[in-house]
């Protein structure tokens, strides 16, 4: 159990590749922290510096109150689950899981009891004598988790541990990971490019882009109050709609829409952000209303997505699947004004 602190951490692989740029982030003891961002944004690098697999170019990383910049991985007492699982192909499941204990000179009986315990939790009891190549993808993934659990480390580092599983197994394992976090009560640092994983698992989410941390907050807050257009667009599916507007006082005007903003932003131009799920089917007198010309529609059972145009702007709306719509229809939808976002077009920062 431990807290982890990144203080102005930078990682340059060469003069012109900065993988992580001035990252400051503090992760509390027993917290489930998710680092999320698109491929290549520096998530893995941030995690690998913590594990001791990459040197730190500038800044420092602390585990509890100890600076670990120069500490070799073996002394950090953290466990890592790799995206590839990195199971030792020549060892049995048992030996894979016992490896960390063996390297630290644990007794045979202790190895035995801890591996058996972890195997029971992960339902690997029957597979202990197998080699990794004799396992399915999901089983391998559990062995990789088991190898980490057995060590009872101060923190678990997981680098996209679910990305090689099929969709159903991924959801199932996601839930098991959350249970495991509750049971173990250890700090988890979890890297993923999948915003659904981030939203469902994280106590807090750290969103990264091009090596730069954008926002750290609990999932709800990230969703409700994104600090900039990047976070707003990355979290949520389908993506938030962005409509360029000109503003005079309280009035915002887009190509096919005019509405009264809840407060005067004091800027002349802006970008409205409206999530597809924040349109209202029943339009009342004082709501802002759009007239959406439907071009494509997708019915997904529980939801229905309308893709179309408002004036000259593209827009996606999520509506009740019972709503009977066909292509080329014009649909009148209200806008949930309390969920409206406005961004500065220059800085892309949120105005509200």
Partner 1 sequence: MGTAIKADAVAPWHRRRVRIYDREAPLGYLLLVPTLLILGIFLLYPFLFGIWLSITDSELGNLGNFIGLGNYRFEWRNTDGVFYTAVANTFLYTGVTTVFKLALGLVMALLLNQAFPFRRFVRAALLLPYIIPTVLSYEAWRWMFDPTFSVINWLLVNTHLVAYPGPNWLGVPANAMAALMIVNVWRGTPFYAIAFLAGIQVIPLDLYEAARVDGATRWQQFTNITLPMLRPVLLVVLLLSTILTFADFQGPFVLTNGAPYNSTQLLSIWAYQWGIPGGAIGLGAAISLVLFPLLTLVVAGVLFMLRRPE
Q: H or E stretch including 49? A: helix 43-51
- Least distance from C-beta 21 to ligand ADP, angstroms? 10
Q: How far is the CB of 43 from partner 1 (least distance, A)?
A: 16
Query: How far is C-alpha 320 from the chain's CA centre?
Result: 27
E strand or H helix that includes residue 145 = helix 137-150
Could you give the C-alpha distances from 121 to 115, 130, 145, 166, in angstroms and in order? Answer: 10, 18, 11, 21
Q: Is 78 in the site for partner 1 (CB under 8 A)?
A: yes
Q: Which is nearer to ligand ADP, 33 or 261 (CB)?
A: 33
Contact between 39 and ligand ADP (CB under 6 A)? yes
41 interacts with ligand ADP by CB under 6 A: yes
Among 2, 33, 42, 245, binds ligand ADP (CB under 6 A): 42
Q: Least distance (Å) from Mg ion to the CB of residue 159?
A: 6
- Is 24:213 a contact under the CB 8 Å cutoff? yes
How near is the Cβ of 332 to ligand ADP at its closest, in Å?
A: 42
Angle at which helices 108-121 and 137-150 cross, to 10°: 130
- The C-alpha atoms of residue 243 and residue 225 are separated, in whole angstroms, by 18
Give the one entry of ligand ADP, Mg ion, partner 1, none that residue 84 binds, where binding means its C-beta sits below a cut-off of 5 to 8 angstroms depending on kind.
partner 1
Q: Which is nearer to partner 1, 48 or 181 (CB)?
A: 48
| Residue 351 sits in the site that holds partner 1 (CB under 8 A) | no
Q: Facing residues of 192 across strands? A: 36
**332: number of Cβ within 10 Å:** 12
43 binds ligand ADP (CB under 6 A): yes
Using CB under 8 A, list all residues that contact partner 1.
48, 51-53, 72-74, 76, 78-80, 82, 84, 86, 88-90, 99-100, 103-104, 147, 151
């Amino acid at each position: 159990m431990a807290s982890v602190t990144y203080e102005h951490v930078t990682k340059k692989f060469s003069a012109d590749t900065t993988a992580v740029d001035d990252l400051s982030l503090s992760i509390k003891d027993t917290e489930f922290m998710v680092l999320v961002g698109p491929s290549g944004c520096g998530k893995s690098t941030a995690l690998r510096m913590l594990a001791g697999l990459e040197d730190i170019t500038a800044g420092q990383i602390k585990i509890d109150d100890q600076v670990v910049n120069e500490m070799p991985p073996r002394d950090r007492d953290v466990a890592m689950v790799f995206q590839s699982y990195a199971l030792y192909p020549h060892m049995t499941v048992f030996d894979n899981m016992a490896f960390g204990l063996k390297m630290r000179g644990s007794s045979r009986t202790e190895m035995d009891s801890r591996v058996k315990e972890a195997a029971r939790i992960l339902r690997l009891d029957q597979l202990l004598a197998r080699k990794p190549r004799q396992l399915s993808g999901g089983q391998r993934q559990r062995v990789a988790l088991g190898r980490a659990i057995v060590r009872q480390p101060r923190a678990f580092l997981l680098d996209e541990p679910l990305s090689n599983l099929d969709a159903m197994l991924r959801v199932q394992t996601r839930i098991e990971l959350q249970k495991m976090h509750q049971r173990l009560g250890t700090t988890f640092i979890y890297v993923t490019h999948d915003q659904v994983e981030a939203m469902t698992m994280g106590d807090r989410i750290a969103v990264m882009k091009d090596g730069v941390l954008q926002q750290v907050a609990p999932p709800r807050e990230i969703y409700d109050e994104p600090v900039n257009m990047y976070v707003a667009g990355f979290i949520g599916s389908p993506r938030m709609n962005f409509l360029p507007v000109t503003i005079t006082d309280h009035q915002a005007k887009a190509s096919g829409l005019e509405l009264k903003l809840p407060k005067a932003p004091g800027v002349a131009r802006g970008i409205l952000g409206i999530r597809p799920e924040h349109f209202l089917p029943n339009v009342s007198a004082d709501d802002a209303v759009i007239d959406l010309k439907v071009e494509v529609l997708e019915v997904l059972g529980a939801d229905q997505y309308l893709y179309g145009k408002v004036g000259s702007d593209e827009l996606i709306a999520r509506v009740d699947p019972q709503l009977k719509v066909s292509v080329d229809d014009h649909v009148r939808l209200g806008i949930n004004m309390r969920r409206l976002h406005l961004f500065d077009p220059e800085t892309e920062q949120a105005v509200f």
